[in-house]
Structure 1
Amino acid sequence: MAEIVLALVSPFIQDAVTRAISFAGEKISLDWDFEKELRELAMLLAMIQEVLKDAEKKQESNQAVRLWLQHLADVAYDAVDVLDEYAYEVLKHKAKTQGQRGKHVSSSSRLSQTQGQRRTQDFVIAKDDLIQLWMAQGFVHGSNESLVKMEDTGNEYFNELLSSALFQDIKWDSYGNIESCKMHDLVHDLTLLVSKGETLVWDASCNFDVQNCSTIRHLRVESNGEGLPTIPRSVAQRLHSLFSNVDVFCSMASDLKSLRSLKLKGGGKKLPASLGKLKHLRYLGISETYVRTVPKSFSELYNLQTSKFVNCYELEKLPNGMANLINLRHIYSSRPRDISIMQLTSLRTLSHFAVGTKKGCQIEHLGWLSQLEGKLEISKLEYVRSKLEASKANLKEKTKLHQLKLCWSYERAVNNNNDEGVLECFQPHSNLKSLTIDGYKGKMFPSWMVNDVNSSGSSFLLGNMVELELINCYECTCIPSLGLMPCLKVLYIASMANVRRMGHELQPNGAESIRLFPALEKLTVHGMKRLEEWVEVVEDAVAGSQGVIAFPCLEELLISGCPLLETWSMGGFSSHHKLSELRIEWCSKLMAIPGVNGLSTLKKLELKGCNGLGSLPIGLGSCISLQFLRIESCKNLNSALSMNGLTSLEGLYLFRCDGLTCLPIGLDSCISFQALKIEFCPNLISIAEDIRKLRSLSFLTIRDCKNLRSISEEWLESLTRLKKLLLGPFWSELQEFPGLTSIYQSHALLEVLILFGWDKLKSLPHQLRHLTALKQLRLQDFNGLEALPECLGDLSSLHRLEIWNCSNLTHLPSIEAMRRLSNLQYLRILDCPKLKKRCAKKRGREWSKISHIPNIEIHDKDVQGKYEYFNDWF
């Protein structure tokens, strides 16, 4: 017990001793004379700490010692609260003083002050969030003398825990930073055991026992809004952490006198006015709520270090007084907010900053935030009036920023016509990993974006750039020379309406031997409405050179929304030894795709909306690794499609291919083939015998091929591995469902069946009775059907039954047949007006047939139980 109390309390005591001495030494003038008392408090706390250490040697079985230790812990917590209140008043005084002084102090003197500061089951855990919670609880401290910040100390602690294998499954971002990790459920349970008595996870099954909960400091409430706990005031007053929804917090807000950390997710629309009375609060995280406004008292949280408003889409604005929170170090928001940052010189995280005309919202104020790191999005850049203003943002000196977004509004309230000059002054530090430029209306990109190749070698102003996005730069007529960026892995170019030709400008001038885009892994070109030609990069780079290599590491290539593109050449694909995914979409004039011979690594090929294509790429058969082929809305693609040679092909999807009259040939050579999906192909009139040879087929869809008249009755006979099958509708004059005679041969593994009917069908296929392994069945668009057959009762494994859009369906099978469906858990009836009326709960004529089913939904309303949707039909 002593070890546990000491482990949990000792950090608070050490912090309290340090702060008491610091406050006494600083002699901060608040018209109070507390120097003597503060020094005495520091001595008392140090004595408590020594007593606790001595108590480790006492007998664990001594009940008196345990009670005494707990009492000492309570005294220590209360002492920390007293010091916190003193610190609160100090910060409040500073905020008001700075606010008044700010009316008279010049920008240069403020900047010098800032520069002076600069010298000085598994549980997923977000690393930064965890460290900020440690800071809020006083577990992490910095050192002004050594310029070590709290976050840096937190990183050291995190790395120690990581090296001790307490964390696992590390997730890294694109730039090499740890984003999150997992704590194994056994480790999590151990931490709860160690902190037992101070930590409680509450759910609907818990009851608060005042006597046993009197030591609780950290509370997590798991509730969907129903059965909210009644938390005793004596417990609420001692809490240091509360994780809950808005409603739980509102019910107890006025009692939370000692709260340090507050995380709210979901719940009500309003936060209480008493929020500002949480003097000790250092961490406030609000996410996925319907909160619309934040009370004005928010601006009185002077101890607040971290403020998060994430996915709060109803939130209109943050309080104007946020500028008073001079202790803030991290501000997160899902979208730009008008925040006055003039006094927030301790900020290390500012996820969004919207430039404006209000005090504290000018671009120059970013220059005062010398410690910014991580991600920063600057929006409304049209409000930057001049190059001089832009230069004061001082982005080049922000060495710890790794992701930067520069955004101009699409519909500008003001237009200074100075985009080129402003962007030229926004040169970031060379450490930057990711850059997005969105809505830029200059004609030329800045000089710092162009590779500088000189006689002494190569120097790259953006030499560490990993990701670059150029979006909605409508006035630019060309792409900057980017080919020599050594670390660039992702390039996204979109909606540059005036670019007509690409290729030659992607490589720099003056290079004698070139590896173009040596690290690029993903290239996307999207929405280039006037792009007509993509020229040979290698040819333009160095004519006649033998050692030129382009895109040697490219893995994914997407070209989309280029309706005028006719010519495309990237030197063939012979040098693209790693290309695994190729997608070409909505390039209606593209007549051919460069030869894909030799693309032995290609695994996924998608062609969509390419009406100029008459055939598949030449050499496709040599793509021995191709696993997935999707062709959609290619109206002129002829029916002579060959799959010969594609031995690794696992899935073929054909959508809205008007020229398709029969299945592709050579499918029998695809020995790994598992999934075939054909939809909305109006001219498909027959299914070739090849399909019978696809013995490994597990998933089959043939939908909305309304001219399909004949299907061999034995075509399913050899498909003994089918797990999911979707069929129909077919030719509207057919009066019975074709091709199901031999379905009983493949019934052993079939688990999911969807049948689409048409008006001429008056009955369901009688072969359904053989599918005793079937678990999911959906019947849709059988408008000629009036009653379901008795044979449905033979589907003994059926778990889920859905009936959609059967306008004349009136009768279910008999009550005896329905009762034989002993595994049926879910029934859904949708757009069946007659059946809806007859299945009305307790009064409909068919209700007795279905009343035993646990979960029933009729016309999107839960009639019984709670219907859980099944998202894995196909």
Structure 2
Amino acid sequence: MKHNNAHLESLEIGGCDSLTFIVKGQLPLSLKYLSVRNCEKLQYLLDDREDASTSSSSVTNKENINHLSTSLLENLNIYNCSSLTCLSTRGQLPDVKCLQICYCSNLKTLSSRGHLPATLENLVIRCCPKLDSIAERFCNNRSIERICIKRCANLRPIPEGLHSLSSLREIYIEDCPSLVFFPEGGLPDAIIRVSISRYKSFPSNLTSLSIEDPDIFTSLIAWGLHKLTSLRELNVIGCPDAISFLQEEMGMLLPTSLIKLTIARFPKLEYLSSRGFQNLFSLEFLWIRDCPWLTSFPEVGLPCSLLQLYADGCPLLKKHCKKDKGKEWSKISNIPCIEVEHKFIYDIEGEE
């Protein structure tokens, strides 16, 4: 394959039931994109053992096993390979920029050496229930910009050194119930967006956080959200039973550092509690979406720092926000920019 396809840049292998491994050194050096899908007997993606070429179920015959480290491969995608347990028999992963692995039910580890490629920029892992580790630590991985891990039930530790990923901008963790803590050092300062569900603890230096969880208020207490003193943006999405935000009986406060707050998909929400907003001295942007029963803002009004208020999918709130007429007008009249149901507040004035 290597010599007969010297200019091959993209290779897709799909539905090859006899394939158990690919000999590492035999992929063309020109290859930039490799996709392996629905190969149910594939055990190792890259078999770099010296005797690997003796198997008739490999892609090619034996040659120098070290060539891939100098190849042009940038993107590696693996999808629905149920027998895959490890990417490389000796633990050396190819120097790719993008690594995506989905629906590999028996995958336990990416690399036996415990390291990811230094070239890696984007890591996506979904639906690998037996995966227990992606690496021992982030070592020389300063190029990573995005990490997305979803539905990996057995994944326990996030590798040490997460805080050293100076290029990391986004991290998404969803439905990984065995993950219970972030490594020491927390997240890098430059991170822009964090989205985490079913997680029990957060690093104190978070600046942006999205939480989607049916038991959101119970989780908020457990996480100690008010202790995230660097948090600037918070998105709280999906709470089917909450009548107020935040619930008075919980005695819960939001971080005083918040600048932007989004509240979305609260189907029974009726009002915003005064206690929940009383210390938000820096809040400038408030977005409220899909709260059909919401009728009132905090009794003491919204923070004086608020510059923009947007409400969408809140039909009962609309009539209460009419200028000089609505019962909530006095609480929001000092906000420079108000938009309700896609209309600026002054355009609602003449509507009945």
| Change beyond 3 A, Cα 1:606–1:775 | same
SS in 2 for 1:741: coil
Structure 1's 535 and 488: CA in aligned 2 closer, same or farther, altered over 3 A? closer
Say whether 1:818 aligns with 2:341: no
Alpha carbons 1:687, 1:711 under 8 Å: kept: no
Tell me the alpha carbon deviations over residues 340-384 of structure 1, each in whole angstroms, 9 at most, x when there is no partner: xxxxxxxxxxxxxxxxxxxxxxxxxxxxxxxxxxxxxxxxxxxxx
Rounded to whole Å, the distance in 2 between the matches of 1:757 and 1:687 is 29
CA shift for structure 1 position 495 = 0.6
Is 2:319 aligned against 1:742?
Answer: no
Question: What is the CA-CA distance between 1:628 and the residue it aligns to?
Answer: 1.0
User: How far apart are the structure 2 equivalents of 1:528 and 1:768?
Assistant: 55
Matching of residue 592 in structure 1 with residue 157 in structure 2: yes
2:72 paired residue number:
487
CA distance in 1, matches of 2:163, 2:276: 39
SS at match of 2:312: strand
Q: Output one character per residue of 1:64-87: Cα deviation in whole Å (capped at 9) or x when no partner.
A: xxxxxxxxxxxxxxxxxxxxxxxx
Matched residues in 2 for 1:775 and 1:428: separation?
A: 65
2:340 to 777, 783, 802: 777
Q: Does 1:653 find its partner at 2:213?
A: no
Give the whole-Å Cα distance in 2 for the aligned partners of 1:470 and 1:753.
Answer: 45
Higher Cα radius of gyration: 1
DSSP 3-state at the match of 1:617:
coil
Secondary structure, in 3 states, of the residue corresponding to 2:186?
helix
What's the secondary structure of 2:229's corresponding residue?
Answer: helix
Cα contact 1:601–1:625 (8 A) shared by 2: yes
Q: How does 1:671-820 map to 2 (within 5 A)?
A: 673=232, 675-681=233-239, 685=247, 686=250, 688-694=252-258, 697-701=259-263, 703-704=265-266, 710-712=273-275, 714-715=277-278, 718-719=281-282, 721-722=284-285, 724-726=286-288, 729=291, 737-739=296-298, 741-743=300-302, 745-746=304-305, 749-750=307-308, 752-754=310-312, 756=314, 764=320, 766-768=327-329, 770-771=332-333, 773-774=336-337, 776-778=339-341, 795-796=345-346, 798=347, 817-818=349-350
Task: Say whether the 8 Å CA contact 1:656–1:679 is kept in structure 2.
Answer: yes
Q: Within 1, Cα distance between the matches of 2:279 and 2:311?
A: 14
Give the unaligned 5+ runs of structure 1.
1-395, 397-425, 453-459, 508-514, 540-548, 780-791, 802-816, 820-848, 850-874
Aligned residue in 2 for 1:805: none
Note if contact 1:526-1:561 (Cα within 8 Å) is conserved in structure 2: yes
Partner residue, 1:644: 204
Once the two structures are TM-superposed, the CA of residue 568 in structure 1 deviates from its matched residue by: 1.1
Aligned to 1:582, the other structure's residue is in SS state: strand
* Superposition TM-score, scaled by structure 2 size: 0.73
| Paired residues of 1:573 and 1:597 also in contact (CA < 8 A) | no
* Structure with the higher fraction of residues in helix conformation: 1
1:463 and 1:757 map into 2 onto residues whose CA distance is 60
Q: Tell me if the contact between 1:716 and 1:746 (Cα under 8 Å) persists in the aligned partners.
A: no
- Within the candidate set 434, 439, 452, 2:10 is matched to 434
Provide the alpha-carbon RMSD of the alignment: 3.8
Query: In 1, Cα distance between the equivalents of 2:109 and 2:130?
Result: 11
1:491 Cα deviation after fit = 0.7
Which one of the candidate residues 148, 151, 170 is aligned to 1:604? 170
Q: How does 1:215-614 map to 2 (within 5 A)?
A: 429-445=5-21, 450-452=23-25, 461-481=27-47, 484=69, 486-499=71-84, 501-505=85-89, 516-518=93-95, 520-531=96-107, 533-534=108-109, 536-538=111-113, 550-565=116-131, 567-595=132-160, 596-613=162-179
Quick one: structure 1 residues 704 and 643, their matched pair in 2 at CA, closer, same or farther if it must change by over 3 Å?
Answer: farther
User: What are the Cα deviations for residues 565-619 of structure 1, in whole angstroms up to 9, with x where unaligned?
Assistant: 2x21424212312212111101123233222353333221111111222x23223
CA distance in 2 between partners of 1:497 and 1:702 (Å): 37
Rounded Cα–Cα distance in structure 1 between residues aligned with 2:109 and 2:225: 31
Tell me which amino acid in the other structure corresponds to 2:312: I
Q: Please, which of 625, 643, 648 is the counterpart of residue 190 of structure 2?
A: 625
Aligned to 1:668: 229
Structure with the bigger RCO (C-alpha within 8 Å, sep 6+) is 2
Q: Which amino acid letter does the alignment assign opposite residue 526 of structure 1?
A: C
Question: How many residues in Structure 1 have an aligned counterpart in Structure 2?
Answer: 314
Are residues 526 and 516 of structure 1, via their aligned partners in 2, closer, same or farther at CA, if it must alter by over 3 Å?
Answer: closer
Native 8 Å contact 1:588 1:610 kept in 2: yes
Cα deviation for residue 524 of structure 1 reads 0.7
- TM-score for both structures, normalised by structure 1: 0.32
- For 1:667 and 1:622, how far apart are their aligned partners in 2? 12
| CA-CA distance at 1:468 after TM superposition | 0.8
Deviating more after overlay: 657-666 vs 462-471: 657-666
State the secondary structure of the residue aligned to 1:818: coil
Tell me the equivalent position of 1:232: none
Which has a greater percent of strand?
2
Partner Cα distance (2:139, 2:267) in 1: 38
* Contact 1:716–1:740, Cα closer than 8 Å, also in 2: no
> 1:437, 1:471 within 8 Å by CA — same for their partners in 2?
yes
Paired with 1:550 and 1:774, the residues of 2 have a C-alpha distance of 47
- Mapped partners of 1:721, 1:679: distance in 2: 19
Q: For residues 630 and 644 of structure 1, do their structure 2 counterparts lie closer, same or farther at Cα, with a shift above 3 Å needed?
A: same
- Which whole-Å CA distance do the structure 1 matches of 2:93 and 2:280 have between them? 54
Change (3 A) 1:703 1:442: same
CA distance in 1: counterparts of 2:202 and 2:274, whole angstroms: 21
